[in-house]
Amino acid sequence: MAKKLEEKQREIILKLGFFEQQIKILQQQLQSIHENILELNSLILALNEIKKSKEKEILASLGRGIFINAKITSEDVLVDVGDKKFVKKDIEETKNLIKEQLNKLDEIKEEIESNIETLEREISNLIREAENLN
């Protein structure tokens, strides 16, 4: 009887560890999604500024903290559509694409949050089960 109890306790401990590990992974994914959402929202703000700044000079990022003065001559932007292919889009079209991406990210975020809640319920159930073993 005591051996069966110990096995059950070990099983619960292993499950708890697994669930906690899964929650950490999901939380990391959630953090990444939040960062992407912030980046896309910043991009929409930047596109709004470009629309207001035609024929004005701006600082354009070349990457890694390096900028160059540039003059905006058009409201068209080149959008990477994958496989190193770029398509010319106007600002409104680009903003619509970004909004679609934001909607997809929101859906994924909700799914991850739901998965975290499910795992947290499983952990609570395991804790109750462990308490009932004593």
Inter-residue contact 16 to 120 (CB < 8 Å): no
**What is the model's pLDDT at position 5?**
82
**What is the model's pLDDT at position 51?**
79
**What is the model's pLDDT at position 49?**
84
- The Cα 92–Cα 72 span in angstroms is 16
Surface-to-core class of residue 131, CB atoms within 10 Å of its CB (0-12 exposed, 13-18 middle, 19+ buried): exposed
**What is the model's pLDDT at position 40?**
96
- The Cα 134–Cα 132 span in angstroms is 5
**What is the model's pLDDT at position 81?**
86
- The Cα 5–Cα 3 span in angstroms is 5
- The Cα 69–Cα 58 span in angstroms is 6
Question: What residues in the chain have per-residue pLDDT under 50?
Answer: none
**What is the model's pLDDT at position 122?**
95
**What is the model's pLDDT at position 93?**
94
**What is the model's pLDDT at position 72?**
86
**What is the model's pLDDT at position 12?**
92
**Which CATH number do you get for residue 122?**
1.10.287.370
Strand 66-71 versus strand 57-63 pairing type: antiparallel
Give the domain extent around 59: 2-133
| Half-sphere exposure (Cβ direction) of 82: Cα atoms closer than 13 Å | 0
Tell me which H or E stretch contains 69.
strand 66-71
Which residues are CB-contacts of 47 (< 8 A; sequence separation ≥ 6)? 77, 91, 94, 95, 98
Domain count, the chain: 1
**What is the model's pLDDT at position 2?**
75
